Chain A
Amino acid sequence: MNIEKIANAIDANVVVNSDAEIERFYVGDFLSRVMGSAPSDSCWLTVMNNVNVAGVAVLAEIKIIVLCEGVMPLLDLKSRCEMENIALLTTRMSVFEASVKLGNL
């Protein structure tokens, strides 16, 4: 599924767009958990907000980051995502709420 579909489902704001198409999701905040378990070409839901989040996405081949619970991305996270062509979305929904919506798509 694409970013438009994800954004609509969780009422998200698209901070950094891309033409990524993903089929799998992962949820988590501890970076080494995400690193070891997130599938590649996936969408990652988190509340963690710093530039290392983009670094992990690059190395683990995560294509879309969704910051939940109304977290507003720090500037260096946003610019890093732009630079690396990683999509960045924000939603006011909790990680659980967003997961349920996305899981039902």
Chain B
Amino acid sequence: MEDCIKLHYVVDGQDFVSCGRASEDVKRTLKSLGISSQVIRKVAIAMYEGEVNMVIHADGGIADVGIYADRIEIVLSDKGKGIADIEKAMQEGYSTATEEIRELGFGAGMGLPNMKKYTDDMTIESELNVGTTITMRVNIV
């Protein structure tokens, strides 16, 4: 089997005042492994956006990160309300965030576009009222 470091996090759905802890831990781990700062930056941005989305749109979820010799894989899965129209959700500026969430600085509709932009591959699987799973890969170059 391929060598890999696996990290697993439960992301709390209530804590939208201070989310991002899983992403910060991944960042620290990658740093301690000597991964390049460009790769760390991509992973940190993409994972943070996905983590925040699980908190503010899906009542929390699970984050699994696999660190391989040539890539980092991030799987975010939740049992939230799902995304009705993925194509629309991927558009810059599209957001269903509430006023309360916007007051915290979220809701620009840039999270999913950032995830796409900063990863080498991203797939979204989502079913209404069942949940969403987002898989992302960042190559180590």
Contacts and interface: CB of A to CB of B under 8 A. Distances in A.
Interface of A: 29-33, 35-36, 40, 48, 50-53, 55-56, 58-61, 76, 80
Contacts of B18: 51-52, 55, 76, 80
Contacts of A52: 17-20, 104-106
Nearest to B40: A61
B19 A36 contact: no
A48 to B, nearest CB: 5
A48 B105 contact: yes
B106 A61 contact: no
Contacts, number: 73
A40 B48 CA distance: 16
B121 interface: no
Contacts of B117: 36
* B contact face: mostly helix, strand, loop, or mixed: helix
B45 A60 contact: yes
B107 interface: yes
Contacts of A29: 105
Contacts of B41: 40, 60-61
A32 B111 contact: yes
Given A51-B17, A59-B27, A32 B44 contact: no
Nearest to B27: A59
Given A36-B117, A76-B17, 13 more contacts: A30-B105, A30-B108, A30-B110, A31-B52, A33-B108, A33-B110, A36-B118, A52-B18, A55-B18, A55-B24, A59-B20, A60-B44, A61-B37
Nearest to B114: A36
